[in-house]
């Protein structure tokens, strides 16, 4: 009986120690920091209906990986290679010429790159999952357990048509809602220039048609419509600038002409008033002159001596 109690107490002690250890491991700080570097596109894609990290086929993808050794046994980790696996069935392995030793609590950062496959090899019609591994070897170079790193499912491989559509959509995203759908008020600007309004309307129609085709996954046709929309939009801006500026210049010239005319009219009126005043004063002086002459004649007549 005493042996059974002793055995149970031992098992309980082991269980508590294990639970404490697991708690300590879970409470340790994050081991990984990870970021894709300079993707061709990063953002929302209405075709996938999600936010993606995307690279153009035939270009290099890049990621930066930072690893901190928080091994539960406080071991030194010897990293011989970093490998990333994509769900199109290929591993990309970056091997080091010699294992890199990372002591407990030490941090290392690496930048890894490789060629993005074609959309024929890595399907463009869906996003891809990936998993990063760190290869750990012992002091003699023998492979130990794989250390699991970051993973995700938002990676996309894009054709040039797909990427061109996304770039055009991003350029005009301020005129759309959550996806490439035409805003309810139609033309994005108010203008009384007919040519601009016509081009704006044609641009919006092309954008909406291109967006619908894009969401169906026909990226080449979608690109043609979106590029035509872009051309119409630029034409609208040019017409608005050219004719709107001409109208503003004409209105300004007309206003200046009216102002000059009114100023000239006011000046002429002032001169006419001044002339009338001068004439009035002249006639007044002329009249006063005759009055004084009359007074002089009267006075002269009154003082003239009479003859016998």
Q: What is the pLDDT of residues 99-150, one digit of tens each?
A: 999 999 999 999 999 999 999 999 999 999 999 999 998 876 788 778 999 9
Task: For the chain, list the domains and their CATH numbers.
Answer: 27-158 (2.60.40.10), 186-308 (no CATH)
Give the tens place of pLDDT for each residue, 14-34.
444 434 333 333 334 458 999
The pLDDT of residue 72 is 81
**In the numeric block, which tokens belong to residue 149?**
């790193």
How far is it, in rounded angstroms, from Cα 139 to Cα 141? 6
Q: What Å distances lie between residue 296 and 66, 118, 301, CA to CA? A: 122, 123, 8
Dist. CA 92–CA 109, nearest whole Å: 18
Kindly indicate the confidence band of residue 87, based on its pLDDT and cuts at 50, 70 and 90. Answer: very high
């Amino acid at each position: 009986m005493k042996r059974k109690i002793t055995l149970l107490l031992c098992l309980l002690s082991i269980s508590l120690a294990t639970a404490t250890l697991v708690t300590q491991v879970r409470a340790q700080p994050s081991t990984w920091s990870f970021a894709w570097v300079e993707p061709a596109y990063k953002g929302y894609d209405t075709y996938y209906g999600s936010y993606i990290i995307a690279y153009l086929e035939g270009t290099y993808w890049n990621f930066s990986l930072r690893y901190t050794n928080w091994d539960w046994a406080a071991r030194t980790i010897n990293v011989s290679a970093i490998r990333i696996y994509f769900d199109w069935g290929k591993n990309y392995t970056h091997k080091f010429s010699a294992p890199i030793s990372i002591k407990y609590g030490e941090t290392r950062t690496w930048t890894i790159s490789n060629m993005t496959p074609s959309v024929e090899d890595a399907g463009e019609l869906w996003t891809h999952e990936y998993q990063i591994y760190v290869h750990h070897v012992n002091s003699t170079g023998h492979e130990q357990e794989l250390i699991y790193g970051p993973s995700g499912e938002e990676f996309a491989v894009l054709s040039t048509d797909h990427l061109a559509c996304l770039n055009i959509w991003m350029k005009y995203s301020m005129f759309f809602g959550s996806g490439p759908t035409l805003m309810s008020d139609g033309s994005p600007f108010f203008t009384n220039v007919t040519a601009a309004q016509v081009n704006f309307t044609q641009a919006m129609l092309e954008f909406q048609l291109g967006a619908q085709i894009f969401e169906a996954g026909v990226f080449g046709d979608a690109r043609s419509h979106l590029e035509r929309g872009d051309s119409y939009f630029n034409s609208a801006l040019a017409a608005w600038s050219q004719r709107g500026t001409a109208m503003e210049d004409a209105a300004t010239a007309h206003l200046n002409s009216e102002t000059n005319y009114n100023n000239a009219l006011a000046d002429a009126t002032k001169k006419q008033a001044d002339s009338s005043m001068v004439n009035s004063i002249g006639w007044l002086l002329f009249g006063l002159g005759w009055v004084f002459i009359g007074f002089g004649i009267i006075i002269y007549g009154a003082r003239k001596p009479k003859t016998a």
